[in-house]
Amino acid sequence: MKVTIYHNPRCSKSRQTLELLGSQGIRPEIIEYLKTPPDRSTLKNILKLLNMKPRDLIRKQESIYREAVLDDDSLHDDQLLDAMLEHPVLIERPIVLANGKARIGRPPESVLEIL
């Protein structure tokens, strides 16, 4: 089974999720998405697997969220995707992909549902 984690090593939930996967004997492909951000197609696919809209996957506590006024309800999905692609720190983390499904590791145990 191929498992991929979109990981930020500075994030405690991301580290905990990676550790949990390891405790299950899983060695995922690790994508440090701040260094290697997903492209538009990949991000759209992740959103589809999560059954989420872009606004649902945005980290609203990031300063760039406020600076870019991304809380404006008139912004449409493509504009929010553009912001996430330009500033990958806005993408919620960690995201685990496995078995054609995806989960956000908040809490980390939620990723066990797709393994």
89: tokens are 């720190």
Give me the catalytic one of 4, 11, 34, 101: 11
Backbone torsions φ then ψ of 3, nearest 5 degrees: -125, 135
User: Exposed, middle or buried: residue 25 (CB in 10 Å: 0-12, 13-18, 19+)?
Assistant: exposed
Q: How far apart are the first and last CA of the chain?
A: 8
Let me know if 101 is a catalytic residue.
Answer: no
Helix or strand run (H / E) with residue 31: strand 29-32
Torsion of CA 71, 74, 80, 82, to 10 degrees: -130
Could you list the active site residues? 11
